[in-house]
Structure 1
Amino acid sequence: MSFLIVSPGRDPKAWIKALENHHPGLNIYTYPEEHDKEEVEFALAWNHPRGLFKNYPNLKVIASMGAGVDHITSDSEIPEDITITRVIDDRLTEDMSVFVMAQVMDRIRDLSLYKEQESEKKWNPVSYHRIEDVKIGIMGMGVMGTAVGKRLAKNGFPVKGWARSEKEIEGIDTYHGEEGLAEFLEETMILVCLLPLTPETENILDKDIFEKLPKGAYIINVARGEHLVEHDLLEMIDSGHLSGAALDVFREEPLKEDHPFWEHPRIKVTPHIASMTKAESVVPQIVENYERMKENESLKNVVEREKGY
């Protein structure tokens, strides 16, 4: 029985070390080194080559290295009998909450604007928003979205959340489904996207959504680049309907040097750093699932294939 790590473009050394610390003696292969495919029953993956896992006849589990699983579920060639799991980690959730809070505070107090003015030696005070007057809407009320919403609400922001299915979350007004979307967007001054990426949510941040927001609304995308229709965002910012955006995720990463987001004065770009997985923090739950698999026990944090999360 062997354990396979597949993470093209990522150095797997930290993962190997953490796995060996938590499970001494574990037989670990790293793709694409030579190995016996029939031995592999458990894989740890991030952005694997499409179609790779259909070649492993005894593979039972594919574990995502991070909270997102779209990089796995988007591979239609993965056999249906393979279980996919995701990471749920308190540190990841806390990091995301802190990052979104920082972006929100930067927006309402114009800190980035003053940094620009400083470089130009301009002294130009502008009026600011008070916390209680800024209505924030979060799209996606899973583990991350709920935590971000609670952090913002705890700090005095009026928060509402939208999800595919009905949810009840203390301190947050919730909406769901197509019927609740327009009401959710109404009066939302800062829209935060934390949706999972599925065929239903791809391109959801488009002109139609933006037009339903009040004039001057601001976009924060910390989910996936594929959620955003980029030319719609540029059009709505340049027309004056949206006041700007903070983007941490992109369709192609790293963002190309000639991409218009880089030099747009009302778009902030960060290099996908809102919440970064630490191997030592999440390996214990991966090892636990490995042991559960060996004992034919139910696994934790299983992805529902039909939902995509």
Structure 2
Amino acid sequence: MSLLVAMTVWHVEDWRARFQALLPELPIVTLDEPFDRRAVHYVASWKHPEGSLAGLPNLAAIFSLGAGVDHLFADSRLPAVPLARIVDPDLTFRMSEYVVLHCLMLLRQQRRYARQQDAGLWEDDRHQPAAREIRVGILGLGELGQDAARKLKVIGFDVAGWSRSPKTIPGLATFSGEEGLDQFLARTDILVCLLPLTPETRGMLNRAMFARLARDGRLPGGPALINAGRGGLQVEADILAALEAGELGSAVLDVFETEPLPSDSPLWRHPAVTVTPHNAAMSAPETIAAQVAQQIRRLEAGEPLQNLVDPARGY
């Protein structure tokens, strides 16, 4: 019985060492070496090559080495075994830090003041809306979305959330499904996207959606987008077009259709766009490895897996 570490990014030998320290009784193998495919019971994957997990007759489970699992479903030959994702409180808290930071930057118009500082301008315009006047709408009410909503509410923002299926969350206005999406968008000044990438959500951050955001001028400069979910959720040409048309006032993007973001992308240079390099929330590798090791020990003890992925939903 062995654990296969399958990835195309990161340093595979570092991951082998982490798992070997946590699971000394289990052989750890990698794709770039000969190994007995019949002996592989578990796979730890991050963007493994398509088809590389086929032909593992005794495979019992696949573990995503991150919160996202869209990289697994990109493999058309993915084995039909239980899939588990990482749920890490530290990752959740880091994502909330990112969301709160950029909501406050937008509220307090920090990019504008940075430009004034660069130009040596003192403009005595002291209008600042209060957090309670600004409506933040969070797309996605999983662990990440709910934690971000709680922390934004503490600061005073008027927060609501949208999910595909109905959710009741004490103290939070919630909307769901297509019928609730229009209402949700119409009351949103800052749209925060923390959705997983699925066939249904791919490309949903588009110009048609931006045109449905609030138009009553509460946020200086117009409605804003923060996407810290997945790059495939957004249509970057539509973001740029909406910024030029005034349908969006600003965009904060941590994820992109192509990563790394190409150096010739106009997003780098647009004055209303903030670019961060897909680092809104990152778990410590040691934490991820420990969670996978714990899951393997649960299975070996006859206990059920935690944080299972629903293949029908894609998350």
Settle same-fold status: TM greater than 0.5. Answer: yes
Question: Structure 1 residue runs of 4+, over 4 Å off?
Answer: none
Partner of 2:133: 133
Helix, strand or coil for the counterpart of 1:261? Answer: helix
Unaligned runs of 5+ in 2: 216-221
Helix, strand or coil for the counterpart of 1:242? Answer: coil
Q: CA deviation at 1:58?
A: 1.7
Q: Which amino acid aligns with 2:276?
A: T
Partner of 1:236: 242
Partner of 2:48: 48
Q: CA deviation at 1:273?
A: 0.5
Q: CA deviation at 1:292?
A: 2.4
Helix, strand or coil for the counterpart of 1:153? Answer: helix
Q: CA deviation at 1:59?
A: 1.5
Question: Aligned residues, how many?
Answer: 308
Q: CA deviation at 1:128?
A: 2.4
Hey, what's the Cα distance between the residues in 2 that align with 1:211 and 1:113? 23
Partner of 2:218: none
Partner of 2:205: 205
Q: CA deviation at 1:66?
A: 0.6
Partner of 2:58: 58
Cα deviations across residues 85-135 of structure 1 (Å, max 9, x unaligned)?
000010000000011100111111122222222222222344322111110
Hey, what's the Cα distance between the residues in 2 that align with 1:21 and 1:153? 42
Hey, what's the Cα distance between the residues in 2 that align with 1:280 and 1:220? 29
Helix, strand or coil for the counterpart of 1:54? Answer: coil
Unaligned runs of 5+ in 1: none
Q: Which of 123-132 and 176-185 deviates more?
A: 123-132
Partner of 1:287: 293
Hey, what's the Cα distance between the residues in 1 that align with 2:293 and 2:131? 42
Cα deviations across residues 259-283 of structure 1 (Å, max 9, x unaligned)?
1100111011000010012121222
Q: Which of 14-23 and 203-212 deviates more?
A: 14-23
Partner of 1:271: 277
Q: CA deviation at 1:25?
A: 3.1
Q: CA deviation at 1:74?
A: 2.7
Helix, strand or coil for the counterpart of 1:52? Answer: coil
Helix, strand or coil for the counterpart of 2:47? Answer: coil
Hey, what's the Cα distance between the residues in 2 that align with 1:128 and 1:172? 25
Hey, what's the Cα distance between the residues in 1 that align with 2:174 and 2:133? 18
Partner of 1:184: 184
Helix, strand or coil for the counterpart of 2:211? Answer: helix
Q: Which amino acid aligns with 1:186?
A: A
Task: Please say if residues 153 and 171 of structure 1, whose CA atoms lie closer than 8 Å, have aligned partners that are also in contact.
Answer: no
Partner of 2:142: 142
Task: Please say if residues 20 and 27 of structure 2, whose CA atoms lie closer than 8 Å, have aligned partners that are also in contact.
Answer: no
Q: Which amino acid aligns with 2:248?
A: L
Hey, what's the Cα distance between the residues in 2 that align with 1:2 and 1:119? 57
Helix, strand or coil for the counterpart of 1:257? Answer: coil
1:32 aligns with 2:32: yes
Q: CA deviation at 1:18?
A: 3.0
1:246 aligns with 2:252: yes
Q: Which amino acid aligns with 2:281?
A: S
1:107 aligns with 2:106: yes
Helix, strand or coil for the counterpart of 2:303? Answer: coil
Task: Please say if residues 22 and 287 of structure 1, whose CA atoms lie closer than 8 Å, have aligned partners that are also in contact.
Answer: yes
Helix, strand or coil for the counterpart of 1:6? Answer: strand
Hey, what's the Cα distance between the residues in 2 that align with 1:173 and 1:298? 34
Cα deviations across residues 184-234 of structure 1 (Å, max 9, x unaligned)?
011200000011111000011111111110231100000001100111111
Partner of 2:219: none
Hey, what's the Cα distance between the residues in 2 that align with 1:263 and 1:166? 39
Hey, what's the Cα distance between the residues in 1 that align with 2:40 and 2:264? 42
Equivalent position to 2:310, from 273, 298, 304: 304
TM superposition score normalised by structure 1 = 0.96
Q: Which of 7-16 and 201-210 deviates more?
A: 7-16
